[in-house]
């Protein structure tokens, strides 16, 4: 009887922790959606303090840090998510993008290629690989990646916009305008381009 009671108490305690973590993540995600990244990070940190093996919490924390342009710390969060969940495509992909933003191009490409091994048909992964080539001014290769991204997901507005940017650098004004127009049709407003300056 005592063993059953102890197990029941442990089970209730574990469920209580998971409910608390879930509530913290819900609050954090709501704050994130409102653009309050600093407050969202506090909630992600609280969730991680209770359950440090929650890959989604680490990943979401990384996204909030990324939106604050705190790329180095975002990478650390993505690495924690990957450590917990090695096949976490989005974490590999975002880690790569953040590495590119820090000028760590080869590391970024390695991370994006890891994401591509896991999910070769992921439009966002192809978009980020395009950003890699764009960052190195390899516009033809960037266009190939952005085109693959839009083939996989014709509604990927960022890929359309970035494809337009690469086309523009190559002097292909008509094609660039078409890509920009498609991005705009899909709701892209031009204020959150993912290409590095």
| Range of the structural domain that residue 4 is part of | 1-85
31 is a domain residue: yes
* pLDDT at site 108: 96
- Say how many C-beta atoms besides its own lie within 10 A of residue 157's C-beta: 18
19 is a domain residue: yes
47 is a domain residue: yes
* pLDDT at site 52: 95
110 is a domain residue: no
Instruction: Look at the chain and report how many structural domains it folds into.
Output: 1
Rounded-to-integer distance, Cα 93 and Cα 98, Å: 9
* pLDDT at site 125: 97
- What's the per-residue H, E or C state across the chain? CHHHHHHHHHHHHHHHHHHHHHHHHHHHHHHHHCCCHHHHHHHHHHHHHHCCCCHHHHHHHHHHHHHCCCHHHHHHHHHHHHHHCCCCHHHHHHHHHHHHHCCCHHHHHHHHHHHHHHCCCCHHHHHHHHHHHHHCCCHHHHHHHHHHHHHHCCCCHHHHHHHHHHHHHCCCHHHHHHHHHHHHHCCCCCCCCCCCC
* pLDDT at site 16: 61
Euclidean distance between the first and final Cα of the chain, in Å? 66
35 is a domain residue: yes
* pLDDT at site 17: 63
Query: Among 137, 144, 190, which Cα is nearest to 163's?
Result: 144
38 is a domain residue: yes
CATH label of the domain that carries residue 79? 1.25.40.10
Burial of 126 (0-12, 13-18, 19+ CB in 10 A): buried
* pLDDT at site 19: 74
59 is a domain residue: yes
193 is a domain residue: no
Per-residue pLDDT of the chain (197 residues; tens, 9 = 90+): 555 444 444 444 445 666 788 899 989 889 999 999 999 999 999 999 999 999 999 999 999 999 999 999 999 999 999 999 999 999 999 999 999 999 999 999 999 999 999 999 999 999 999 999 999 999 999 999 999 999 999 999 999 999 999 999 999 999 999 999 999 999 987 654 555 44
């Amino acid at each position: 009887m005592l063993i059953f009671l102890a197990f029941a108490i442990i089970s209730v305690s574990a469920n209580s922790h998971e409910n608390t973590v879930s509530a913290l993540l819900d609050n954090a995600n709501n704050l994130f959606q409102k653009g309050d990244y600093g407050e969202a990070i506090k909630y992600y940190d609280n969730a991680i303090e209770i359950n440090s093996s929650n890959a989604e919490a680490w990943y979401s924390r990384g996204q909030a840090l990324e939106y604050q342009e705190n790329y180095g710390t975002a990478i650390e969060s993505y690495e924690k998510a990957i450590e917990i969940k090695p096949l976490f495509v989005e974490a590999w992909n975002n880690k790569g993008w953040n590495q590119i933003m820090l000028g760590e191009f080869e590391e970024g490409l390695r991370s994006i290629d890891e994401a591509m091994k896991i999910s070769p048909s992921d439009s966002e992964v192809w978009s980020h690989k395009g950003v890699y080539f764009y960052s190195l001014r390899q516009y033809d290769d960037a266009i190939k990646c952005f085109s693959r991204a839009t083939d996989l997901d014709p509604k990927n507005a960022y890929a359309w916009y970035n494809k337009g940017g690469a086309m523009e650098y190559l002097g292909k004004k008509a094609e660039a305008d078409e890509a920009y127009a498609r991005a705009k049709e899909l709701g892209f407003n031009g204020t959150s381009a993912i290409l590095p300056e």
